[in-house]
Structure 1
Amino acid sequence: MDNKSIIEAISEYQYVSFDIFDTLLIRSVLKPEDIFTKIDEDHKFGTLNFKEYRINAFIKACQLYENETCQEVTFDQIYECIDSRFKEYKKFELEYESKCLFPNNSIKEIYDYCRKSKKTIILISDMYLPKNVISEILIKSGYSDFRLFLSSEYKKLKYTSDLYLTVLKELNISSDQIVHVGDNEQVDCVAAGRVGIKSLKIESSYSIFCNSDPSLKYYHDNIISDFSTSLILGLYAWHNRTFGFSYWEKIGYLCGGPLIVSYLQWLLRQSKQDDISDFLFVARDGFVLKRALDLLTKNKIRTNYIYTPRIICLATDYNFDFNDKRNSSTEEEDCYLTFINYYDEEIKRELSIDVSKLNKAQQIELFLTHQEFFRDLAKKEFNKYCDYLNSLNITGSKVAFVDMSTNFFTGQRLIERAYSKKNIDVIGFYQTVFKNFKVDRNSHNFRVHSYQSYNVPFGEFLITAPEPPIKSLDRFGVFYQDIPWQESLRFKAYQRIFRGELQFVEDYIKFVKDPLNQNLSSESCINLQNNFICNPSKIDKEMFSEIYYAFDSSHHNYQKIFPEWYK
């Protein structure tokens, strides 16, 4: 039922009761027991599994204390039955429950209507947590003027209908004077109906999640069940119920947003140790990274979005090796060809040679026989790039060069050269650095978040800004290449992907206390991406069938992101 229908239905009743968990309050995690996983991760006791001991303690307490007159156990009784090594974890559980519970704003609208209409509000729940703890959480969440009925206090359950009967008796009302709002079919509807109480069922985030995303539920229940995964899926389930998603927003929210947050949390921790003054986010990957960091830090640190396209990195490198490279490797040849094609207009004007009419061998020969000419062009282009950097007014003495990944450190090398005479230290920060035995890693100062491999084409697609490849730039601005049709299609998809990624960042800030000092697992984020890649649905294949991405430095070689899907 929607809110309007619920408000119309309860308008004729003076007494309105609400379920608490998954109705008035929602958890940021997918399942309540996932909080035990978080406690176990943060307060590991050797090889022991707190979640397992905690669940077994509840079962033991039920066996020991429940009988005909006592249908519910208390929080204290549960911890009386737990292994002695976990007694002190009682305080952790209360702390984490409080951290993970938030008001369900869509239902709070109905609650506020009841208060404004001066209805008698009753809150009723099958819950072992102490009354004072739940009352405090409710009040902090903006709920007031209620009477609270808990199974742990009255020793009676909603499930058996006995707690509903207790409410009727204590309020001295008949069942036709009260209406109940809740999310559980059996506990909130069937059990209330057995004693004549009308119920209004809402759909919980979890039930919608289970029905709309069974593959993700299976992934959480049977494959990966760590806290970071539960948090990501819990936020997704809430947002999906509250606002819904378009297809591409969902991709951004689940596959892009979490890895961005994880990477930026690490970046902030590491950069603090390195005493970083300015953050340079590299186009085009840095587009969403900068926006996300500005949100996380509330614009309190200095960030810049800069261009270091690989084609310009190559075209400005006048310190290249001038030895005869007629027997060079494929990678070296590609560099020379990129260099040649970048300066095609200058070559035609100064040397009267049309590069487009030369074959590959002739282009390499041209490069090798006109070295000084190309050296002069590279110096001029490098000076133009330095003018561009100077226009950004970077004033710090130690800057972070932020990119998602690198193979050759091409962009960082360009910035290092440009800043070498200004005594500005450059430290590279990457989500991952790919192994390349031709690159001397010791010649660059850099930090790596994770060496766990991830699907590079998909990762690039998720964070590449909706702007064309760069042709050239100077202090006056950026000059783009013509937009090919593949980029146009990518732009349309990315507008919504970007929105989904920032929605995740905003929800993370909203639902996670002290978000900068938390640690969203990079491994969990990448595993979620891999789960999507390995289990595509029919609609996934349809939506990605027209998505292409250019993986070469000149941005001419467009390929499908997941060619294996279409074999």
Structure 2
Amino acid sequence: MMKKDTKGDYGQGAERLNMDALSNAIDKASVISFDFFDTLFVRPLTHPEDAFDLLGIQFNIADFKAQRRKAQAEAFRQMTKDGRKEITLQNIYDKFPLPQHQRDAIQQAEYSLELELVQPNKELFPLFQQLVASEKTVVITSDMYFSANFFVDVLKRYGLEQVPLFISADRNATKRDSGELFDSVVSACGVVASQVLHIGDNYLADVQRPQERGLAAFHYVRDVAYLGDKKQCIATSMAQGLLNTDDAEKITPGTFQALGYQFGGPANFGFLHWITQQAKQDAVDVVLFVSRDGYALERLAKNYCADQLPEFHYFLGSRIAFNLALITEENFEQNIPFLLSGSVGLSPGELFERIGVCPPADAVLQNLGIDPQRRISIEDHEVLGQLMFGYRSEIMKVCSRNRRGLFMYLCQSGVKAGNKIALVDVGWNGTTQEAFELAVCPIIDIDVVGYYFCLADTPERQRRSRTLHMKAMVNKESTSSSIVDSVYENRVAVEMFFSAPHNTIIGYRPNGLSVEVVGDPGRAKATGHEQFNLAINEGIDMFAESFTQQQKRLNVSLTPLQTVAPIIELVSNAQWRTNPLIGQIENFDSWGSSRNQVVRFADYFTN
């Protein structure tokens, strides 16, 4: 977006300026001066100083950004003391309290990093090229501590190294302070000041100062969808920066695709690389990415790290399927609480539907004194438990079938006795892993380790950790107790980015030598679930591709925790709960879905 200068020569107001209006302004000038950074060229970061975070990662200096800022401030103080008007990159690194060889290495790395970061602004660069090819005099005027050599190195890539450069670091004059740098432009071009049009993004340096020197000025303001917060993590800056540049035309802001790109992409990509590290460390034989949490993880594994993982599969299963498979005649009664869990608000028949059992006829329920249309409350659990026990023969048919099918499915997935299996789940208390081990280990001798995005600090999880081998990427040791609590409290948001465009798997049906999975569509219509899941996963894939290329180009590799930070930032701020897009989602959890009620996202965290 280009805006007219509110005080400029070409009209009052801050309305948008179209390209025709800009062309008219250019026609009136003999010399066209472009600002460089954030005008002619942009960076795929939300804030320029985020580049310092990338350097800190490269050189493993945790507080590099703070050190770099301090050195620059000290360089400015020295500049003032020496009576100079601008600093250079060398001046900055002279103030670093590091050995000379290390300072030189980081200084060169910053130069190289900025070369790789800057890219043409698609809105202005074609116009710039057109003007250079015309009879107009075109120059670049920039306040920057890099010398002209940097700008020449950038422009060479586009065959534009002949463009005259007016760089503050070389000329000991600036735009921002008093506009003296514009005097150099006017003098070198041999024109009067009013014949020069300067275009730039900074109101003080690119509008006010040139006007004070008699030049014409246009205030250019990029129309970016993602402004960012200066306190945000580097992964968020990189993701939003890509959405503002490389992928701006591919992803529409305010869509599930954009949410998948910003949060689902970093969450899945970072978690996957943590899994890769752990699987190697634990000498895992087979990785099972359990549905639906593992849907994107398995796909990304195929595309980006198949050679770094042992055998792996997208394993169609769930806490429900594994719990049903573990139920036997001997333990049926102790598993009735599971069968009744999450049933408040459901009708009695829906208790059976959600486990794949044909419910008793209404007449049968009525004969037992149970109203088929009654909405279940906690007070009904005793009588419903008795109903479940009385109906156990039908339930056991499904449980036995699931157990046989699960065993066959494991064998078809390459799992053998003696294997070490990694069971991948997003979180939170180890219920899925516990059910899996109780169902599987009695029939096949395997060693199971659970890999989790986050494990909650709850008594339930603590109890399971004493008997189960469980590892979490986000835990109080790797982050903090408060972060773990925030992630767990807002787990429904995290789960949204680890979902799949298919129904929850509730069982298995052997069919000869093959196995069919049984899905649960839920009792209430889940409007648009497949569409929003597909859109989120499209965003995840696009992020992974762009982020991989970006890390390679910038010679930087974020750690898994650094990569997943955007989703931790998201759930650490309850503002996400008011997102209208997320508010559209209904009946996300099929286990608790009912024809009697519509469950919205807000209901999961409303007291």
TM-score (norm 1): 0.77
Q: Give the match for residue 313 of structure 2.
A: 304
Q: Are residue 122 (structure 1) and residue 146 (structure 2) matched?
A: no
- Distance in 2 of aligned mates of 1:231 and 1:137: 21
Pairing partner for 2:562 from 496, 521, 535:
521
Q: Separation in 1 of the partners of 2:159 and 2:277?
A: 33
Residue number among 538, 543, 559 corresponding to 2:599 in the alignment: 559
Q: Does 1:187 align with 2:205?
A: yes
Change in CA separation of 1:75 and 1:205 when aligned onto 2, cut-off 3 Å: farther
2:384 counterpart of 1:384: no
Mark the runs of 5 or more structure 1 residues left unpaired by the alignment.
Answer: 211-215
Deviation for aligned residue 1:285: 1.9
Among candidates 12, 20, 28, match of residue 36 of structure 2: 20
Q: CA RMSD in A?
A: 4.7
Quote the offset at 1:459 in angstroms: 1.6
In structure 1, what residue type is equivalent to 2:601? Answer: I
Q: Residue 343 and residue 238 in structure 1: after superposition, are their counterparts in 2 closer, same or farther (change >3 A)? A: closer
- 1:184-230 deviations in Å (ceiling 9; x for gaps): 22222333344454444432367x655xxxxx64xx4xxx4554454
Deviation at 1:126, TM superposition (A): 0.6
Amino acid aligned to 2:358 = E
Instruction: Out of 331-340 and 508-517, give the one that drifted further.
Output: 331-340
**Are positions 1:76 and 2:90 aligned together?**
yes
1:470 CA drift (Å) = 3.3
Give the direction of change, closer, same or farther, for the CA distance of 1:209–1:407 in structure 2 (3 Å limit). Answer: closer
Given that 1:470 and 1:479 are in contact with CA atoms closer than 8 Å, whether structure 2 keeps it comes out as yes
Q: CA deviation at 1:526?
A: 4.4
Quickly say closer, same or farther: Cα 1:70–1:286, change in 2 above 3 A. same
Contact 2:523 2:593 in 1 (8 A): no
Partners of 1:138 and 1:276 lie apart in 2 by 50
Deviations 1:389-417 (A, max 9, x none): 55556799665432211423425753896
C-alpha deviation, 1:365, in angstroms: 4.1
**Which residue does the alignment assign to 1:465?**
500
Aligned pair in 2 of structure 1 residues 471, 273: CA closer, same or farther (>3 Å)? closer
2:297 matched to which residue of 1? 289
Counterpart mapping for 1:67-106 below 5 A:
70-83=84-97, 88-89=102-103, 91-96=105-110, 98-99=112-113, 101-106=117-122
Given that residues 123 and 148 in structure 1 are in contact (C-alpha distance below 8 angstroms), is that contact kept between their aligned partners in structure 2? Answer: yes
In 1, the alpha carbon distance for the partners of 2:213 and 2:92 equals 30
Provide the C-alpha distance between the structure 1 equivalents of 2:22 and 2:287, rounded to a whole number of angstroms: 50
Counterpart-to-counterpart distance in 2, 1:433 and 1:531: 16
Number of the residue aligned with 1:64: 78
Establish whether residue 260 from structure 1 lines up as the match of residue 299 from structure 2: no
Q: Residue 408 of structure 1 contacts residue 439 of structure 1 at CA under 8 Å; is this kept in 2? A: no
Equivalent residue, structure 1, for 2:222: 204
* Counterparts of 1:145 and 1:423, CA distance in 2: 72
* Residue of structure 2 in register with 1:533 after alignment: 574
CA distance in 1, matches of 2:195, 2:245: 32
Pick from 261, 269, 281: which aligns with 2:277? 269
2:453 to 409, 426, 431: 431
Question: Would the aligned equivalents of 1:548 and 1:561 in 2 still touch at CA under 8 Å?
Answer: yes
Q: Which amino acid aligns with 1:414?
A: F
2:586 pairs with 1:548 = yes
- Which of 499, 520, 528 pairs up with 1:481? 520
Say which is worse superposed, 328-337 or 302-311, in terms of deviation.
328-337
Match of 1:511 among 546, 550, 559: 550
Greater shift, 189-198 or 280-289, is seen at: 189-198
Q: Determine the structure 1 residue equivalent to 2:376.
A: none
Return the match for 1:414 from 431, 436, 449. 436
Number of aligned pairs?
Answer: 547
Hey, what's the Cα distance between the residues in 2 that align with 1:310 and 1:277?
22
Match of 2:326 among 295, 311, 317: 317
Which segment is superposed worse, 181-190 or 408-417?
Answer: 408-417
Partner of residue 213, structure 1: none
The code of the aligned residue for 1:252 comes to: G
| TM-score with structure 2 setting the length | 0.72
Q: CA deviation at 1:281?
A: 2.5
1:60 is aligned with what amino acid?
Answer: E
Q: Give 3-state SS (helix, strand or coil) of 2:453's partner.
A: strand
Residues 558 and 117 (structure 1), Cα distance of their counterparts in 2 relative to 1, 3 Å cut: same
Q: Call closer, same or farther: CA 1:70–1:566 in 2, change over 3 Å.
A: same
8 Å contact 1:288–1:465 — kept in the other structure? yes
| Alpha-carbon separation, structure 2, partners of 1:486 and 1:299 | 41
Q: Which amino acid aligns with 2:471?
A: R
Match of 1:32 in 2: 48
Cα gap change, 1:126/1:389 in structure 2, threshold over 3 Å: closer, same or farther? same
**Equivalent position SS for 2:497:** helix
Look up the match of 2:473: 449
Q: Secondary structure at the match of 2:599?
A: strand
Alignment-mate amino acid for residue 268 of structure 1: T
Counterpart contact for 1:405–1:432, Cα < 8 Å: yes
